[in-house]
Every structure is written in C-alpha cells, then in structure tokens.
Structure 1
Amino acid sequence: MKVRFFCLGFTLVWLAVGCAGIHGLNLWPMPKSVSHGGQTLYMSKDFGLRYEGSNYTDASGILKDGFARLLDGVEADHVADYNSTHFDHSVLLQGLNVIISSFNDQLQFGVDESYKLSIAATGNPRYVYLEAQTVYGALHGLQTFSQLCHFDFTTRMVEVHQIPFTIIDTPRFSYRGLLIDTARHYQSLPMIKNVIDAMAYSKLNVLHWHIVDSQSFPLEIPSYPKLWNGAFSPSERYTMADAAEIVQYAQRRGINVLAEIDVPGHALSWGTGYPSLWPSRDCQQPLDVSNEFTFKVIDGILSDFRKVFEFRFVHLGGDEVNTSCWSTTAHVNKWLREHHLNESEAYQYFVLRAQNIALSHGYEIVNWEETFNNFGSKLSPKTVVHNWLGRGVAQQVVGKGLRCIVSNQDKWYLDHLDTTWQDFYMNEPLTNITYPTQQKLVIGGEVCMWGEHVDGSDLEQTIWPRAAAAAERLWTPYENLATDPKKVTGRLAHFRCLLNQRGIAAAPLAGPGRVAPDEPGSCYKQ
C-alpha cells in the first residue's frame, strides 16, 4: 500500500492514499496520537470482551452494552458469515481485552475520558487491547475501534484495518455540547435517542436539553402538575419517567444531560397552568418578579429536577429579558417602588435569586451571557457564562475569573443554515485567550440546534455533519487540527457516510446547512 505524509496543523501522521477510501485513516474526531501499519485482520466468530489483567468487573453493564453496540455498528445489519475455516488463525482477532483502572462508573463533569487502543504486529492468539482510567474513556476507545472496522462483502466478515496500530487519546475540552430545543417543536423520545447515539459516535458528551420556552412547557413537574398544561397538545409531553429514561440512556453512552429552564424571560407557557405567574393577562412575560409564588415554582421545578437530572450543572437561561412589562403592570410597579428597584435592578434580583435556589439544590449554574454583560460581578462564582452573542465575550468572562462555554451564534448555531461545516470546524473557542490559567476557564463549547424550524422531519440532517465538524475542534488537540478545512473533507465525508450507515440522517457536505444530494453518486463523493 502506498503511503504519503500529510500534515494536520503541526503534527505529522500517516494517511493512506485516497482520503475517503475504506483503507484510509478515516478516524473522526482525529485522536491525539496515532501510529499504524497496513495489515488487515478479521474478527473471529467468537470475538468477545475480556478483562485479563484488570480488576474491573463492569457491574453496571455499561461496557458490555457498549461492546454490543460496537458489534452491531460494524456489522451494519449485514449478515456476517464468520466462517473462519478459510483463514489461518494468525489473521483472526479473538477479542477485545479491556483494562480499566477505576471501579467508579459515576458520570460527572471532568471524568477521565482518555484511552489507549492497540494491536501488536504479531501474536497468537490475536487481541485488541484497550486501556482506560474509566469506563467512559473505554467507550470512546470502542467508538474509535469501530471506525477501523469494515464489513467486507466478499468474505462476509468484519475486517480490521491499519494493523499494527497504537492510538493514545484524550479530549481537549471537558465540555463538548449539543443543544436541542423541544419547546419550539416537540421531539419524540426515539428521535432524542438517535441524537444521543450520534453524539456518542462524534465524542460529544453533553446534551443541553432546552426543554421549555415561551411556546410550550412539555415536561411533567410533579410539584406543580399544571405546568405542562402549557404543552402544545396532550400528546406532545414528557413524563418525569421519560426524562429519567433519556438521562439514563445518555449516561450509559458517556453523555451528561444539562436541563434548562429559561427565566425570567422565555416563560410565557408557564402561565397557561398557573396564570398568577404572569404579571397580568395582558402582559405575560417575563415572570412576575413581585410574586413569591414565582420563586416557589422555580424551587419546586429544581427540586424535581434534582431527582432526575444528576449533572453538576443546571441552565437557568436569563437571556433576552424585556422588563417593560414590570413597569407597566400596576402591582409589579408598586413592588419595584417599595423595594427601590428599577427594571434593570429587578432583572438582576430575579437572576441572582434563581441562582441561590439552584445552589440550594446542589447545582452549579449556567446562564446566558446577558447576565454577565449586565451584572457580571454580582453572579455567583459557581456560574458558567454561556456565550452566544459576542465573539469577545469569552475573553472578558475568563478575565473576570468565571468559567465559560462558547456557542457564538455566527459559527455554532445549527439553525443558521448559511453557516457551512467549514465555519463550524474553524471556530476556535480560545480565540485571543492566551494565558493558560484563563484558557482552563473555557470548559468547552456547544453547538445549538434551536427548534423554530426543525421537527422530527429534518432535525438530524440539520445537525449532522456540521455538529461533527465542531466535535473535532472540541476533542482533538489544537496542534493536530487542520489549518485548512479542505484537508479534512475526505475524513468528514467518510464519517458522514458512517452516520448514514448507522441510521443517522446526516446531510451531504456539499452545501450549507441541510442539503439533499443533487445527483446520483457515491456517498463518499457528496
């Protein structure tokens, strides 16, 4: 096999000729370190999971489930023959040997996601070796291994390419997020699970669930059961058991779920069930800052959240708050005067009080950047500022010692259909942030799939493959990233086709936003 050297940023790695060919190094996102050869081995009929040399027992079954998904994914629903009588045993892989250091299967922010994946040049019997500190690092290793496998239609067996290989990998950022919005259009549980599966393939690890907004309140809140009267219809709702199912489904794939209630604005739907949350029938948002019941409801929601949403953070929104309703509503305006507050100060009061409620339930807080822009010095030190408006905001946030998530809308908003995958790939969260101590305060980034113009009919092709382009930016070391997106087009095209093969409706690369193929042809050429 002919090989050539190909420069990704500043690091030299080997790539096979033909960047979209099945024998190329088509890994996405690109690992930290890769060395490989050109041999091909075949999975044996008894290819299985073993733990030789490890004290890890997988009591939770997370790794076993991940391994089963690996086999399903590489077979791609084809009927494998596994008739090894025609092969010498020296070319058959007998299994995957996993060594995991930690017995703790709890998923939380900052969990060690590193792994080492290797196959030696020789050996009998032949095994793949996967070493990781935690089961979640091992899951990432399984995803990488799956991309080295290919179902061969001649032998009807699963081939494993690039042997021998050694891959050492760890993520660049601890927070690698994707927002979905179920308030503007309802998304079914199977669709949300499809999104989670594709996130796992891409090594994204936070599903930001923007559950409710002005248009609808689809989630059951046991403490205040009339809130979901604000759903679009009785059929477009989620029970708390549904939410728990999504959280568990995501956790077993190494993905945390960040739940959001966006207060005090974006909350008109709350008043459908509890009209007293509106300042008045004629002026219905933001939520009534003068009403103690408002904060009792927020407390009840977060109390119920804590039983299901186990992630360290909760998102409290705080963006796009038009406070004029407070001044034009007589009883709220009277409360403002009695408390010597103007509208801006009342906005600050509301956000900080909501923060304190979240803190009392053991959460750290994420707020949209307007809270920082208006009263950043007053925010809890446990606040993560979610940048979306200005490109220079992250630099200002970390300069003040607060943590930041980058989602600047000009590059990482998926509902902006004119934003290309190249723009997603080249968006750098650490732009103009040069001090290492400040760089560490940028905990990561997030691409946002706002739901005004997507539902179950077009969600996936609007997200993918552009979200995957951002996923490599968030996973791969900066020095290994391409300085020109043209150099990764073949790899991303191959990954997009892999998503399609696994049942994810990822759109072609050739076009902005979501586009359809414009003529007959191979998936790898679109």
Structure 2
Amino acid sequence: MKVTTVLATAALVMGVSAQSNGSPLAPVPNNLLWPRPQKFTSGTSDHTFSPVGVDITIVAVNGNQGALERAADRFRANVLSVGCDAQSNTGDISQVTVTVTGTDPKDLAQADESYTLNTSASGVTITANHTVGALRGLETLAQLVKPVQKLPFHAGPWSITDKPSYSWRGISLDTSRNYIPVSSILRTLDGMSATKLNVLHWHIVDATSFPVVSKTYPDLSNAAYSKLSIYSYADVQNVIAYAADRGIRVVPEFDTPAHTNALSFSKALAPYILCPNGGAGGTTSFWPTCPEPPCGNVNIADPNAAPAISALVKEYAALFTDSVFHMGGDEIENFCLNQSPQFTDIVFGKGAAVPATGTPAWQKGLASSYQKYADAVRPAGKTAMYWEDIVINDGVTVPAGSIIQIWNSWDNAAQKNSLQKVLDLNSKGAGYKIVDTNNDYYYLDGGSGAWLTDRGFGPGGDSWKEDYWTKYKTWERVYTHDPRKSRQENTTDTDGTGLAGPLVGDLSAIIGAEAAIWGERISDSNLDVKLWPRAAAVAEALWSADAFPDPTAKDFFEALPRLEVFRDRLIARGFGAETFQPAWCRSNQCGAAFSGYPAGLAYGNQKPEFW
C-alpha cells in the first residue's frame, strides 16, 4: 500500500501554549509530531507517496552528504515500519529535496539544528543551515506519515519553521552498575534521534566496574564484570560514529576523585585509592565511608595521584572526540579522607590534630588539595564538565566556560536550590554554563523500590535509595519541568511541600537538561521501559520550551494523545516502550477537566482523534 502524508496555504498556527489570557495551545492535526514544532501551518489536503518510489534529492555542498543519505534510508525504513507496503512505488508526492545551505562546523556543539519544512501537492522541501538541522527535518517528515489503512485525515499542506529552545538535551546513561550492551546503547541513540535529543552523556565507569579497555592501564579491565562486559576501542568508536550520524554528541564521564573503587584493580593506580570497598576508620560497612558500596576515593593530597589519573584522562580525551569531557567531581568521601593518614598527614601535617569534617579548617584543607588535583587532571583542549558538588560544596574553582551539572535541588539551610547557587557564583564572575539534572524531576530509574538491603541503616532511615529522588517520575512531572522557569522541588522535604523561589540571575547560562538513568536497577532487560516514552516528554519540554510560557500550564489532554502516537512509532521501531492507558482510551474519553481547570485549555472533555 501507499503511505499517506499530511502535507500550501493555511492560517499560521503558532506553537504556543496557554498564554496569560487563557488561549489554548494550537492543536496538531491527528496528534502528529513529537516534539511540537515552534511554528507550523497546516491545511486540509491528503496526498500519498511511496517511501520506496519517492525521489529524495540531497544538496549539501558543505554538509555531510553521506550522513544525509543514510538518514534518507532510515526515513524510508521508519515509514515502512508503521505498516506500509514496500512493494508500492507510486504516489502523489514524487520528490523530497533536502538542502543544506551552510558549512558544517567541526564541533557538533556549534551546529545549528534549525530547519524549515514545506510541502505541496507533489513535493517536500527541507532546508537547513547545517546537516544536523536537515536530520531533524527528516525526522519530522517521517512523523507526518501514516499508513493508508488508517482512517483518513486532512491537514496538508504543511509549513514548519523549527529550532530547539535549549542547545543541550540529553540522556545520562550509566553502564557501570550494570553492563549495557552496545546494541542497547545504539537503540537508545535511535530513540534520541526520534525525539531530537542531542547529547548522550555516557557515564561509562563507576566504583562498581570499569567496563572499557584502557591502553594506559590494561589491568583496569579486571574491574569489569566479565570479559564479555567490556567496551573495546572499536565499540566506543562505533557508538560515537553512530551517534554523530544522527546529530548526537557523546560526552564521556570518568568520575573522580570519588566513585573510584574500580581504579584499585590496577596495580599502578591502587596506591592512590583510599577506602576501597569501604570500612574506613575501623568500620565494617561501606557506611559512613561512602553513600553506597563500593567506595574508593582518590588521595587528592598525594602529589603522584594527579599525574597517574591525568594519564588515564588524557587517553580517553583522545578516544572520545566531543569538545566536552565530564570529570565527575561529586560525592567526595569526607569520612574516608578524614580517617586516612595518607591524606591527613599531607594536608594537616603528620601527627597534627585533624579537624572534624565540615569545620572551616577541614574545608580549607580539602579545598586546597582538591584545587591542585582538579587543575592537574583536567584535559587540555576540552571543555570540562562537573557535577555541582565540586564548586558548591568543596570550594574548588574551575575555569570559566566549564559546564556544571545540577543533581540536587533544595537546601533547607541556605533556602536555595543548587541551580540558584551556581547562578549566584556566576553573578560573582564564575562564568559557568549549567545543565539541569534535578533529581526530583529527571531521575527516570526510580520507582522500583530499595536496592540496598540495609534494614533501616544509613541515610534516610529505611534506605535512601527508596526515599527522595528515586521515586517514580511520571511523564507529566518531567513534561512540566523547565530548567529556567520552574521552581525547584525540595529534595530533603519528603512531604514535597517545600518549593524554592523563581531563579534569579542570568538564566541564559542554563543551556539545557538531561534525563538520568542510573544503573543500580537498570539493565538491558528494562532499559527501554524505564526510558521511553518518558524521555520523549523531557525531549519536548526542552525542544519546545519557548512554546510554553508557563510550563505548569501545559495541557495533558492535548499532549498525551500525541505522546501515544509517538509511542506507536517507537513500538513500530522495536522499542519496548511503556504504555500509559488502556487501549480503549485511544478512541474514548478517559479523562475529564475538573473544576478549576483553565477554561482556555479546550481538550479536557473531548474524545481523542488519533492518526
């Protein structure tokens, strides 16, 4: 069978959400398109084309011709996956022209993702400044297609002008707590491409395992779970190339000085790792040496530690080609350091009284040694990225232009969330960029209960891995969070009643956000269902943020049918994506607008109409 595409002239429909006057979000015909374009027009005509027979012409003199040709092949495959007949080769639409007008930058971080898409009765044109914009346009075109056997609808022609609101829209994937095979990483990249997410933050190693080959310290592979749980150089290069073909950056994280138990498996590095597997100060448990087992903290005071770790960082800075390198910098193990003479003798003097952790004298000693370590291990020629702890808690100054990733939210004592604290540092000239991964919104791995069998021992009483941010985050919760506009939740307030105030400062420093999928209870078997389609909700919230002046006023009745259609596409492409409602709801009313629901949001008492 042929494919129908909703593809001239119509009133301009702006992709804007509920305004202060209560005007509703403009509907997208037949619940197509996720994420929502910034601006679009639609009409009332149907046209058909065959993904096999249509001629796709690519004009990219200074673009990536090969990447676009491969994207055209994926476009055909994705269209066929929704049930179209590969034998049909005729249709109204005979031509798709993709034009890249500019010269691609060497650094994907500088690439322009904007594009325009226009359709007529016989053809489609996609125009972009850079290749990555054309890739986004082809994904949009694929979402304008439906199988002919579905009920007909009228929406063409289309005119779309689109670009992302945030330049950093990512997924943080942990492959250390449980090994994730390359095939699943590639599938995740396909899902990211479908939703226009553009950064894979690869948390490739941690205290639990070191699943990547090192040529500098070959015995680090002993810290992998098995010989079958190791990424080769070729595997890494395959992931990077696969991602680049889809306009996605791969930012690696090699976290130090904490989270480094796995480094103790190397004979050359073991002398610099304190408290491996916990038990500092005569204790018999990982707690309070570190937040979760196993432990391990680089002895940042040892002058030989930084050169040894720097050699490892230099190796991977060469292997991973992105301009950003994540250095970690979270959850330094103060108890471990305080109980380790190898650290305290250097910082405070052999035989001297050691200040209690958290006191000004302790913090001064920590900051001084940590500053020297951080400066020494930072790779040349890369923009460094860190978790918030290093600049908020540990007193270290990192270079202007560094990216600080937020993971905590509110602080009862300071009455400020972590994002605001970094903005405050910027007001004093720090010059940091910010990526939000607020654990109250963006941690998608939670909801499966505790994994630490502590029977009430440790922080949080009944297991900190069950309380707080590890609770399940609904798609509505992540969908209504905007890094620049939303008030932040209070992590330490288990009743959820504490909200910090609106952010103050230069909010343009906030370049985007990431959804995190930590690996304690995630493996290949449940990765898809934990990520999708909730990661798609994050994707629209970040790509289309300018369309929603008030993120809390987004209309779930409008969004959910579109998200369900997008889920249909994910399922057709082989993803094990979570379902949201009984199938009966696809053609019947499964919700109602209650008293107090904004009158301008018009979808609350209507039956959905699907593609």
Pairwise TM-score range, normalised by the shorter structure? 0.7 to 0.9
Residues 103-502 of structure 1 mapped to structure 2, 5 A cutoff = 103-104=103-104, 106-120=106-120, 122=121, 126-153=122-149, 162-274=155-267, 275-279=270-274, 283=280, 285-338=296-349, 343-349=362-368, 351-357=370-376, 359-375=378-394, 378-391=397-410, 392-401=417-426, 402-417=432-447, 418-430=472-484, 431=486, 438-480=506-548, 483-502=554-573
* Most deviating of 233-242 and 375-384: 375-384
TM superposition score normalised by structure 1: 0.86
Counterpart contact for 2:479–2:538, Cα < 8 Å: yes
Instruction: Kindly provide the CA deviation profile for residues 428-480 of structure 1, in whole angstroms up to 9, marking residues without a partner as x.
Output: 21136667x71210010111000000101001100111111111110003334
Shift of 1:416: 2.2
1:29 to 32, 35, 45: 35
Identity, % of aligned pairs? 26
* Most deviating of 269-278 and 175-184: 269-278
Partners of 2:340 and 2:39 lie apart in 1 by 61
Residues 1:504 and 2:575 aligned together: yes
Distance of aligned partners of 1:509 and 1:348 in 2 relative to their CA distance in 1, 3 Å threshold:
farther
Residues 1:64 and 2:69 aligned together: yes
The gaps in structure 2 that reach 5 residues or longer are 1-5, 281-294, 355-360, 411-416, 427-431, 448-471, 487-500, 591-611
Aligned residues: 494
Residues 1:15 and 2:27 aligned together: yes
Paired residue type of 1:148: L
Query: Per residue, is there more strand in 1 or in 2?
Result: 1
Where 2:124 maps in the other structure, the secondary structure is strand
Partners of 1:189 and 1:362 lie apart in 2 by 28
Partners of 1:292 and 1:377 lie apart in 2 by 17
Where 1:228 maps in the other structure, the secondary structure is helix
Partners of 2:70 and 2:34 lie apart in 1 by 22
Q: Match of 1:39?
A: 45
Counterpart contact for 1:256–1:311, Cα < 8 Å: yes
Counterpart contact for 2:313–2:379, Cα < 8 Å: no
Counterpart contact for 1:387–1:393, Cα < 8 Å: yes
Q: CA RMSD in A?
A: 2.9
Distance of aligned partners of 1:426 and 1:32 in 2 relative to their CA distance in 1, 3 Å threshold:
same
* Most deviating of 142-151 and 59-68: 59-68
Counterpart contact for 1:261–1:315, Cα < 8 Å: yes
Counterpart contact for 1:27–1:148, Cα < 8 Å: yes
Partners of 1:161 and 1:188 lie apart in 2 by 43
Counterpart contact for 1:150–1:160, Cα < 8 Å: no
* Most deviating of 355-364 and 303-312: 355-364
Shift of 1:373: 1.7
Where 1:389 maps in the other structure, the secondary structure is coil
Where 1:495 maps in the other structure, the secondary structure is helix
Where 1:262 maps in the other structure, the secondary structure is strand
Shift of 1:239: 1.2
Partners of 2:144 and 2:476 lie apart in 1 by 25
Counterpart contact for 2:420–2:503, Cα < 8 Å: no
Paired residue type of 1:298: I
Paired residue type of 2:114: S
Partners of 1:524 and 1:173 lie apart in 2 by 34
Instruction: Kindly provide the CA deviation profile for residues 39-95 of structure 1, in whole angstroms up to 9, marking residues without a partner as x.
Output: 1211145312214xx5626555111111110110011075423253xxxxxx61112
Shift of 1:375: 4.5
The gaps in structure 1 that reach 5 residues or longer are 17-22, 85-90, 511-518
Distance of aligned partners of 1:298 and 1:70 in 2 relative to their CA distance in 1, 3 Å threshold:
same
Shift of 1:520: 6.7
Shift of 1:163: 1.6
Shift of 1:229: 1.3
Shift of 1:13: 6.2
